[in-house]
């Protein structure tokens, strides 16, 4: 079995793939809580036990991370508790993605992984949108070349700014209200956040398609709150919540271990 780990700014997501490349289990924990290597090790072992998987069943580990500060503890945990030296996605990793940019190291590992998954699973040209802490849009050509990327504040960042910077606005659940014609503070905030974000997403997709001249461009989305947006627009072709984990599997298979 392969253990794939996606280290994001908000969550660590763990995915377990069997010998048939099927995602048989996944779980997530918060990233922001500081942990030692032993704490990570025990957490991973306990999660595996809860899924009826033994530590010895894990044959290899691959990690993509945008949080350098936890990598020493996490990597040490994998080595100590699973007895595996993980593949860390980064500069030098075989991905198949062409990056004609001045500094490829500046591109987050998660964006590379998502780009590979979007292209190989759904075909290109493809615009991959990841609704994470930040919302990222990456355009990949049919011949595996990174064309352009856009980054905007994520929905939750926008929401946090709203209630943290305005003294009288409460913290709310992020969901689409029944109508944009809001009658109270909570639904007015929900309307502004969700409908406003739908508008942003649709406009960015439209401009990317227009400026790139790609009428046949597919749009693939992933990330926690992406499900809300996907359900409210016909401009996103596919919503795949496990896109990053699937991308880690694809990149793993390109390596010679």
Does the active-site annotation cover 110?
A: yes
Report the chain's mean pLDDT, rounded to a whole number: 92
pLDDT confidence tier of residue 257, bands split at 50, 70 and 90: low
Is the pLDDT reported for residue 99 higher than 90? no
pLDDT confidence tier of residue 168, bands split at 50, 70 and 90: confident
Is the pLDDT reported for residue 134 higher than 80? yes
pTM, two decimals, is 0.90
Q: What is the pLDDT of residue 18?
A: 94
- The mean pLDDT of 111-122, rounded to a whole number, is 95
Look at 205 and 92; give whichever has higher pLDDT: 205
Q: What is the pLDDT of residues 69-84, one digit of tens each?
A: 999 999 999 999 999 9
pLDDT confidence tier of residue 162, bands split at 50, 70 and 90: confident
Which domains can be identified in the chain, with CATH numbers?
2-88 (3.30.420.40), 104-247 (3.30.420.40)
- The single residue of 6, 110, 130, 240 carrying the catalytic annotation is 110
- The mean pLDDT of 83-92, rounded to a whole number, is 91
Q: What is the pLDDT of residue 215?
A: 87
Q: What is the pLDDT of residues 141-160, one digit of tens each?
A: 999 999 999 999 999 899 88
Q: Which two tokens stand for residue 230?
A: 């996907």
pLDDT confidence tier of residue 180, bands split at 50, 70 and 90: very high
Q: pLDDT > 70: what percent of the chain? A: 98
Q: Single out the residue of 151, 127, 121, 150 nearest to residue 140, CA to CA.
A: 127
pLDDT confidence tier of residue 164, bands split at 50, 70 and 90: confident
- The mean pLDDT of 1-17, rounded to a whole number, is 94
Q: Which of 136-140, 208-212, 223-227 is least confident?
A: 223-227
Beta bridge partners of 129: 137, 221
């Amino acid at each position: 079995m392969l253990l794939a780990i996606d280290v994001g700014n908000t969550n660590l997501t763990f995915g377990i793939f069997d010998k048939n490349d099927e995602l048989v289990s996944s779980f997530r924990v918060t990233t922001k809580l500081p942990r030692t290597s032993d704490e990570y090790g025990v957490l991973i072992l306990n999660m595996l036990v809860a899924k009826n998987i033994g530590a010895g069943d894990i044959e290899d580990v691959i990690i993509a991370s945008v949080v350098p500060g936890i990598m020493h503890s996490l990597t040490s945990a994998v080595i100590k508790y699973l007895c595996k030296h993980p593949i860390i996605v980064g500069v030098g990793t075989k991905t198949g993605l062409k990056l004609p940019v001045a500094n490829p190291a500046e591109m987050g590992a998660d964006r590379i992984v998502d780009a590979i998954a979007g292209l190989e699973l759904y075909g290109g040209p493809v615009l991959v949108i990841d609704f994470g802490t930040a919302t990222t849009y990456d355009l990949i050509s049919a011949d595996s070349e990174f064309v352009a990327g856009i980054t905007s504040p994520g929905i939750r960042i926008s929401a946090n700014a709203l209630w943290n910077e305005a003294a009288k606005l409460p913290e709310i659940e992020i969901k689409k209200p029944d109508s944009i014609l809001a009658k109270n503070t909570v639904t007015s905030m929900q309307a502004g956040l969700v409908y406003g974000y739908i508008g942003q997403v649709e406009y960015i997709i439209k401009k990317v398609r227009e400026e790139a001249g790609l009428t046949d461009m597919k749009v693939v989305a992933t990330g926690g709150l992406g499900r809300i947006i996907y359900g409210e627009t016909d401009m996103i072709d596919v919503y795949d919540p496990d896109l990053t984990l699937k991308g880690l599997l694809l990149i793993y298979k390109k390596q010679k271990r």
